[in-house]
Each structure stands twice: as C-alpha cells, then as structure tokens.
C-alpha cells in the first residue's frame, strides 16, 4: 500500500566550513532506526563531503543512502539534478522516511525551498525545516560581514562607493530562510562572543527562530528533525537579497582542485595550507592526502586560519593513494601560486 503522507525533508544550509557535514554525520549516527537518505551538494566536482559520509562506518549509512550532486550549486540546477535525485529516492521500493539535504556552502536556500512546489514532487515531499549552521568563531572574528557603521560613514562622504559584500549576502540569505539556527563551534568562543554573535544573528532573522549553541555539530536529532515547518508554503516570511534576481550564480567565487604529493607529516601539509591561506583569498580547503608510511588517509578541512585534520579511514586494497584538495576562494585568486604553495 502506498502512503499518502509527504516525506519530510530537512535542508541543512550554512557557509563554507560551518560544520554541515559533521552535523549530518551526527544525525546519521543517532537516527534511532529511522530510515534516512542524504542528498549532498558539492561546490566543485570532487565529492569530499559525500565521501566523508559514505566512509563513516555507520551501519545504517550505506552508499545507496547517500546521493551526491556535484554538477553545480543545487539552487541553480534544480530541474536538471535536484528534482530527479529526489524522485529517484521516492520511487525506491523502500523509500526513506526522512531526507536530509546538505547544500554547498555557497548555496542560497530559498530557490531550493521553492523547488518543493514543483508539480512532480509537490504532493510527495515537504520541507520539514531549514537548518542554518553558523561557524560562530568565524562570525565572531568578523570574517563574513563588513563594518556597517564604517560603510555608512564612507558612503556619506562618497556616494560612488560600493561595499556590497557577496559573502555577507550569502550568509544572511541562509539565516533569513532558517527555521532553526545551529551556532556551531561554541567551544571556540568566549562567553562574551557567544552573547554578541547570538545577538547579531537575532537582528538578522526575519522571524522568531531558535538559536542553539553546540560543539562539533552535536545537537539532538529530535531538535533538528520534526520541525513541521512546511517551508515551501511559507516563502513570504523568508526574504532574500536575491528575490528580484532571475537566477543566482557564483561569479564572486571560484573553486579548483590541487593534486598533492605524499607528505612526510600532517604538520608539513598544515603549514603549507596556512601559508597559502595567509597570502591568497582562500575561503576553504578540504580533501584527502596521503601521509608517507601511514595506512590511513588524512582528511583535511581548513577554514581561514583554522586547519583541522584526522585520519578518517584506511586506504582500500587497490585504491590509488591520490592526494586531492578542493580550494574555494574569491574570484580572481592566483590558482598557480596557490597550487605551488600547497603542492610544491
């Protein structure tokens, strides 16, 4: 017998390096027997986040339950990629009970929410909630936002100045569409910073939305899933900087892949990435690398000056020990200089 109930979907959004994949992995680890599926969207053509989830070792997390979309930003490829992927999950003999969608760090959530009104899927799925994951430490450091008071003063003196910040617009659009905000990396912030950032987030939100402070993306699944927002029917309460635009693209950002050799130690790689980040407009670095003499591959994730690494799994028999890093930054950065700085 076919169920007439709509399958709930949770959209996980958040800026580059906020901790979305870590949060999704936590959901999978604590599914409590619930049959989940995950759609992962990468910015760029190398599926790092999908690979992290597929190799997580969780019994309920099979490769079939992870669907990767790496043909561009999910909010720009709705018809070509997202809707067909969603239909393929729904058409399975044993469809998921809940679908989690992890967008790329540069995606605008509102176009994706709108897609749930497409006739092909409107009667079968609903947006249970949009969860915005925020890198609290990055926001506290002012990494995304310009100084509004300084801009106001400069504009008063010179009307020709244009200080539109594409990073801030993406960040604010993600907050404006949210039904729940997860303020991640709270352990890296002081009490004063937590209070300040929470307050600033509250000023941006267009409606009453709860802000949850967490560490390492660990938040109760009962808090994340089951919000019952039906966001696709509530678009007017989710304003966007891009509401009047016909199409959203990523002209302000660029991404490319650096093939890297084996390194003698993780620290050698970290030092190289840190130097490249300090000298160029790099927003995010993530990927897998071989460390000489180690049977496991090294997972590397860098956001600004913070670079984290861990051995995530053993190299498989016959697997090519190929080191690849995805570099994401602002348009116009020097690819070759970055490649040399990281790979040598």
Per residue in 262-288, pLDDT tens? Answer: 999 999 999 999 999 888 878 888 888
Given the DSSP bridges, would you call strands 282-289 and 323-330 parallel, antiparallel or unpaired? antiparallel
Q: Which residue has the higher pLDDT, 68 or 150?
A: 68
Rounded to whole angstroms, how far apart are CA atoms 186 and 256? 30
Q: How confident is the model at residue 53 (pLDDT cuts 50, 70, 90)?
A: low
H or E segment and range at residue 271: helix 266-279
Over residues 290-324, the pLDDT tens digits come to 999 999 999 888 877 778 888 888 888 888 888 99
CB of 75 within 8 A of CB of 114? Answer: no
Query: Residue 133's pLDDT is what?
Result: 95
Which residues belong to CATH 3.40.50.300 in the chain? 7-237
Evaluate whether 132 touches 174 at the Cβ level (below 8 Å). Answer: yes
Mean residue pLDDT across the chain? 81
Say which residue, 269 or 1, is predicted with more confidence: 269
List the beta strands (DSSP E) in the chain: 7-14, 36-41, 66-69, 98-102, 125-135, 180-184, 210-213, 253-260, 282-289, 296-303, 306-314, 323-330
What confidence score (pLDDT) does residue 44 get? 47
DSSP β-ladder status, 98-102 and 7-14: parallel
In terms of phi and psi (left: phi > 0; alpha: psi -120 to 50; beta: otherwise), the region of 280 is beta
Model confidence pLDDT, tens digit, residues 141-193: 877 654 445 544 544 554 544 444 567 888 889 999 999 999 999 999 999 99
Q: What pLDDT is stored for residue 128 in this prediction?
A: 96
Location of each CATH 3.30.1220.10 domain in the chain: 253-343
Q: Are 12 and 101 in contact (CB under 8 A)?
A: yes
pLDDT of amino acid 293: 92
pLDDT value, residue 329:
80
**Domain 7-237: CATH superfamily, name plus number:** P-loop containing nucleotide triphosphate hydrolases (3.40.50.300)
pLDDT number for residue 163: 41
Query: Quick one: what percent of the chain has pLDDT higher than 90?
Result: 39
User: CB pairs under 8 A, 24+ apart, for 61-64?
Assistant: 61/28
Q: By C-alpha distance, which of 81, 85, 75, 86 is closest to 114?
A: 75
Confidence tier at 16 by pLDDT (50, 70, 90): confident
pLDDT at site 184 = 94
Residue 68 — pLDDT band, cuts 50, 70, 90? confident
Which sign, positive or negative, has the C-alpha torsion 101, 180, 17, 312? Answer: negative
Q: How far is CA 87 from the centre of its chain?
A: 22
- Does the pLDDT at position 240 exceed 80? yes
As a CATH number, domain 253-343 is 3.30.1220.10
Residues in Cβ contact with 263 at an 8 Å cutoff, skipping those fewer than 6 apart: 269, 289, 290, 291, 292, 323
Q: Is the pLDDT of residue 56 over 60?
A: no
Residue 202 has pLDDT above 70, yes or no: yes
Please say if the pLDDT value at position 200 is more than 60.
Answer: yes
Does residue 217 carry a pLDDT above 70?
A: yes
pLDDT at 10 over 90: yes
Would the pTM of this model clear 0.85, i.e. be above it? no
């Amino acid at each position: 017998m076919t169920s007439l109930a709509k399958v709930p979907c949770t959209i996980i959004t958040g800026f580059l390096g906020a901790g979305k994949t870590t949060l999704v992995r936590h959901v999978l680890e604590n599914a409590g027997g619930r049959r989940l599926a995950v759609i992962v969207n990468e910015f760029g053509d190398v599926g790092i986040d999908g690979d992290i989830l597929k190799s997580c070792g969780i019994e309920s997390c099979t490769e079939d339950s992870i669907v990767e979309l790496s043909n561009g930003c999910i909010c720009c490829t709705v018809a070509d990629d997202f809707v067909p992927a969603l239909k393929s999950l729904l058409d399975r003999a044993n469809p998921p009970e809940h679908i989690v969608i992890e967008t790329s760090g540069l995606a605008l959530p509102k176009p994706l929410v709108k897609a749930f009104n497409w006739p092909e899927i409107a009667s079968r799925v609903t947006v249970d909630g949009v969860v915005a994951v925020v890198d609290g430490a990055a926001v506290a450091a002012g990494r995304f936002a310009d100084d509004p008071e300084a801009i106001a003063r400069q504009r008063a003196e010179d009307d020709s100045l244009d200080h539109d910040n594409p990073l801030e617009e993406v960040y604010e659009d993600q907050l404006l569409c949210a039904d729940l905000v997860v303020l991640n990396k709270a352990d890296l912030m002081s009490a004063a910073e937590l209070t300040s950032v929470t307050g600033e987030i509250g000023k941006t939100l267009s409606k009453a939305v709860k802000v949850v402070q967490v560490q390492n993306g660990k938040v109760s699944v009962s808090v994340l899933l089951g919000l019952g927002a039906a966001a696709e029917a509530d678009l007017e309460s989710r304003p966007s900087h891009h509401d009047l635009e016909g199409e959203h693209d990523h002209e302000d950002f660029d991404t490319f892949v650096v093939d890297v050799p084996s390194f003698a130690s993780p620290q050698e790689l970290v030092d190289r990435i840190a130097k490249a980040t300090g000298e160029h407009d790099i927003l995010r670095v993530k990927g897998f690398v071989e460390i000489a003499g180690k049977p496991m591959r090294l997972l590397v994730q860098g956001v600004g000056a913070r670079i984290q690494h861990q051995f995530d799994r053993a190299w498989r028999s016959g697997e090519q020990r190929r080191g690849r890093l995805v570099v994401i930054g602002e348009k116009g950065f020097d690819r070759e200089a970055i490649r040399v700085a990281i790979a040598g």
